[in-house]
Homo-oligomer: A and B are copies of this chain.
Amino acid sequence: MKAKVYISLKKGILDPQGKAVERALATLGFSGVEGVRIGKYLEVELKPQEAETASQSVKEMCEKLLANTVIETYRYELEPD
């Protein structure tokens, strides 16, 4: 079973990395870009288990380690093998 976790900065939190990419894109001639926000994407491979247990477990991982919930939000989806 695999969990895909998406972590992104909350609205209002400065994202200098995103700003840098935005400028780089403009320099490269991409004029249609109005903003870039950069987050993390994690794939967590889990032992076979019930979907509900897995979901609870991944939520706990996010809260305790993967995301900094002060400045980041997370969402995740589970994929059966």
Chain A residues close to B by CB (< 8 Å) = 6-8, 18, 21, 24-25, 28, 30, 32-47, 49, 54, 57, 60-61, 64-66
Q: Are B7 and A32 in contact (CB under 8 A)?
A: no
Contact residues in B for A41 (Cβ distance below 8 Å): 6-8, 38-41
Contact residues in B for A44 (Cβ distance below 8 Å): 33, 35-36
Jot down 5 A-B pairs with beta carbons below 8 A, ordered by A: A32-B54, A33-B61, A34-B47, A35-B45, A39-B43
Q: Are B64 and A28 in contact (CB under 8 A)?
A: yes
Nearest neighbor of A49 in chain B, beta-carbon distance = B32
Partner of A46, one of B33, B38, B47, B64: B33
Give the distance to chain B from A37, nearest Cβ to Cβ, in Å.
5
